Structure 1
Amino acid sequence: MEIFPTQYSTLSSKALNVKLRESYGLDDTTCRLLIRNVSDTYVIENVTEKYIFKIYRDAHRKLEEIKGEVELLTILFEKGAKVSRPISDMNGGILQVFNAAEGTRYGVLFSWAQGSVIYAMNDRQLETVGREMAAIHNITSSIELHHYREVYSVDTTIVNPLKILEPAFVGLEEEYAYLKQTAREVIERYKQFDGNFGYGYCHFDFLPKNFHFTVDNEITFFDFDFAGKGLLAYDITSFFIHYFLEFTYGKISEREARDAFHIFVDSYRKIRPLSNEEIAAIPYLGFGFWVFYFGFQYENFDDWSNLFWGPKFMKDRVALIKKWMNTAHILLP
C-alpha cells in the first residue's frame, strides 16, 4: 500500500535513539521528544552525556539553509563564541538524513546548553549577555557564509509578511489598515537609518528563552534557526522586546525595564560600538520583528500548532504591536 501524502510527520523517539547510538557511538542513551514546533527537538542522554537533536521541516528550512546554520555555528564556536555547537558523527558527517513519510528530512546533533533559562536576570547576567552578544556580532559582522541564510530587509520583515497576512484579516479590516499605515511610516524611518549601522549575521530571536545560564553565570546561546543577514540591531531589539513584554504584563516597572536594558547596552559597548541612532531605531526595527513573526505564524501554523490562531489572537497581536509602537521609546535608556 502506498503511503498517503503526508505534510508533517513525527519521527519515533525509540527509532531515533537506535539510529543516533549507531551514528554517534553513544551508549545506554534514552531519547525523548522535547518539542514539536518550528522544528522537532529531541533530548538524547545517558548518565554522563546530554545532547539536543533537531530535525528540520522541509517547508521551513531547505538543505542549503540548514548547511548555512551549521556553518555559522561552527565558525562561532571555533572563534570562541558561547554557543551550542553542531556535533559530527563517527564518519565526520554533520547532517543525518531520514526518509520520512513526507520525504527527506535532515537532522543535526547539538551540544547541550548547560544551565537554564533566566528571565529575571541580575546585573552580572545582563553584563554577560551584553558582552557575549557583542562578541558574537564581532564575528558575524566580518564573515561571509558559503551557504544561504535569510536576508532581513524591509521586504522580508514587513512588505512580504503583510502580503501573506492580508487574506487572514478578512473581517478585521481596521486592524489590517493599522498595520499597513504603520508599515508605511516605519519604512520611511528605515530610509533615514544611518548607513553606519552594524550589519552581518544576526540571531533574530535573542530572547532569554534562547540562552541558558549556569549557576556560575556561564552563558550558552542556542536556537539559531532564524539566523540571517541583516542589521545587527535586530538582535539588540529582540532582547529589548523581552523587557517591553515584562513591563507590559506588569512583571517589572518602567524604571526596572530601562535600568536593565541600560546595563546590557553598557556592557555591549565595552566590546563593540553601538550608536545612539541604532538604539533610537529599536521601535521601528521591532515593528519589523513583530510583523515578520506574525506572517510566519500564519504561513506555518498548519504544520505545528493552530490552536492559538483566530480572530482573537490576531486582534490581540495587533493591539500588542500598537502598544509597542506607543511605548517602546519610553522604555529606552
Structure 2
Amino acid sequence: MSLFPVTYSLLSKQALLAHIKDNYDFQEPIHLKYFLKGMNDTYIVDTESSKYIFRVYRADRRNKSEIAFELDVLNHLNGNNVSVSVPITKKDGTFINDFLVMEGVKHGVMFSYAEGNEKPIHTVEDSYLFGESVARIHKVTEHFKSEHVRDTLDLEYLIERPLNNIKLHMEQRLEDYHFIYELISGLKEQLAMKIGEGLDWGICHGDLHGNTNVAFTDNGKLTHYDFDICGYGWRSYDIAEFRLAREIHSGHNKDEVERLWEAFLNGYRNVRDLSRNDVEAVSLFVVIRQLWLFSLCFTEAELIEEADFDNSFIDSKMEYFRTVSF
C-alpha cells in the first residue's frame, strides 16, 4: 500500500528533543515544550542556564532559501545593535535543521528567547517606544542585501493573489466578492498615484501589530521576533498593521486611536524620516492588509478549522469592507 499524501504533520517531541541534544551545544538537562501551533510549530527549549525558541517551518510554506533570508535579516539587525531574537548556531556552525517528513522537508531553527513580556499597546508612551524600535529596523536595513530569495511584498503579493484566493472561497457569494473587487480596484488607482510620487521601500517585518512579536522589559527595552513574513516592501505597509490593530482589535475609540498613532509616528520620526506621502498611504495599506489577512484565513482554514471561516466570518469581513471610505 502506498503512502497517502499529507498536508501537515507534527514532529515527535521525543525525537525532536533527541535531535536538539545531538546537534546543539547545550548543557543538560534539556526540556522541550510544544508551545504554539500557528503558521509554524513553536517550541520552548529550557536548558540548565537559558531558554530558547525552536521553530519548525511548514513544508508547504517556506523553503531553505526563504528561511536563510529571514536569518540574514535577523543577523544584520543584531549586528547593528537592534534587539531581535537571533538564530542560534548548531555544533557544525550552521543554523537550519532539515527534517524529512511525509509531506516533504520541514526546516527548523533555534532562536534566542526574547526577554520581557508581550503586552497590548494601550499607552502613548508604549506607542512612542514601539515607533522608535520599528524605525530602527527600517533604518539599519536600508542597505541590507542577501543572496537568498524571498517573496516581495508588492501588489501581486498583497492584492492579486489574495483576490484570487478569496474568489475561490466566495463562489456562493459572488455579489460580495465583486464589491470587494471594485473597492480594491479603486484603492489600487489611488495607491498607484502614491507610488508614483515615491514611497519608502525596503525590508519590512510584515507583522508589526504591536500586540505580539515584541517583548517589553521594565526598563523600556523592546525586542522584536517572528520575522517569518518579512521581505522587501513599502514601509507604509509595514506600519499600517500597527494602525489597523489599534482600529480593529484594541477596543480604543477614534480619539484614542489617533493619540496612539500620533505617538507612534513621533517615535518613528525621532529615529528616521517618514514623508507625508508615506503617512497618507497608510490608510490605503490598512485596507490592503485586511484583504491580505482575509485571504490568509482561507489559506490556513484546512489546518486551523474551516468551521471558523463560515458565512458569519465572511459577514464580519464584509461589514468592515462596506464601511471603508476614502
Match of 1:274 in 2: 274
- Contact preservation (8 Å) 2:117, 2:216: yes
5 Å-filtered alignment, 1:67-146, equals: 67-146=68-147
What displacement does 1:3 show? 4.2
CA distance in 2 between counterparts of 1:94 and 1:283 reads 38
5 Å-filtered alignment, 1:44-59, equals: 44-59=45-60
Distance 1:88 1:307, change over 3 A: farther
What displacement does 1:45 show? 0.7
What displacement does 1:171 show? 2.0
What displacement does 1:124 show? 3.0
Distance 1:189 1:197, change over 3 A: same
Residue 308 of structure 1 aligns to a residue whose secondary structure is helix
What displacement does 1:293 show? 2.2
Match of 1:198 in 2: 200
CA distance in 2 between counterparts of 1:311 and 1:217 reads 43
TM-score, L = length of structure 1: 0.92
What displacement does 1:134 show? 0.6
What displacement does 1:240 show? 0.8
Given residue 263 of structure 1, which amino acid in structure 2 is its aligned partner?
A: A
Given residue 106 of structure 1, which amino acid in structure 2 is its aligned partner?
A: H
5 Å-filtered alignment, 1:10-21, equals: 10-21=10-21
- Contact preservation (8 Å) 2:59, 2:103: no
Residue 207 of structure 1 aligns to a residue whose secondary structure is coil
Given residue 236 of structure 1, which amino acid in structure 2 is its aligned partner?
A: I
Match of 2:284 in 1: 284
- Contact preservation (8 Å) 1:154, 1:288: no
Match of 1:255 in 2: 255
1:238 lines up with 2:258 in the alignment: no
What displacement does 1:246 show? 4.0
CA distance in 1 between counterparts of 2:176 and 2:32 reads 44
- Stretch moving more, 104-113 or 9-18: 9-18
CA distance in 1 between counterparts of 2:258 and 2:277 reads 17
- Contact preservation (8 Å) 1:175, 1:315: no
5 Å-filtered alignment, 1:130-169, equals: 130-169=131-170
Match of 1:25 in 2: 25
Q: Deviations over 1:102-128 (max 9, x none)?
A: 221110001111112111343332222
What displacement does 1:89 show? 0.8
Residue 241 of structure 2 aligns to a residue whose secondary structure is helix
1:207 paired residue among 206, 209, 226: 209
- Contact preservation (8 Å) 2:87, 2:95: yes
- Contact preservation (8 Å) 2:86, 2:111: yes
- Contact preservation (8 Å) 1:34, 1:41: yes
- Contact preservation (8 Å) 1:198, 1:232: yes
What displacement does 1:31 show? 0.7
Unaligned runs of 5+ in 2: none
TM-score, L = length of structure 2: 0.94
Unaligned runs of 5+ in 1: none
CA distance in 1 between counterparts of 2:288 and 2:152 reads 13
- Stretch moving more, 74-83 or 118-127: 118-127
Q: Deviations over 1:116-147 (max 9, x none)?
A: 21113433322221111111101222222211
Given residue 19 of structure 2, which amino acid in structure 1 is its aligned partner?
A: K
User: Percent sequence identity over matched residues?
Assistant: 24
What displacement does 1:47 show? 4.4
- Contact preservation (8 Å) 2:35, 2:42: yes
Residue 120 of structure 2 aligns to a residue whose secondary structure is coil
Match of 1:61 in 2: 62
- Contact preservation (8 Å) 1:51, 1:111: yes
- Stretch moving more, 307-316 or 268-277: 307-316
What displacement does 1:2 show? 5.4
CA distance in 2 between counterparts of 1:39 and 1:28 reads 26
- Contact preservation (8 Å) 2:199, 2:234: yes
1:228 paired residue among 209, 231, 254: 231
- Contact preservation (8 Å) 1:141, 1:198: no
Match of 1:296 in 2: 296
CA distance in 2 between counterparts of 1:152 and 1:39 reads 20
Match of 2:310 in 1: 310
Supply the RMSD in Å over aligned alpha carbons: 1.7
What displacement does 1:57 show? 0.9
What displacement does 1:218 show? 1.3
CA distance in 1 between counterparts of 2:72 and 2:269 reads 27
CA distance in 1 between counterparts of 2:122 and 2:219 reads 13
Given residue 317 of structure 1, which amino acid in structure 2 is its aligned partner?
A: K
CA distance in 2 between counterparts of 1:292 and 1:72 reads 23
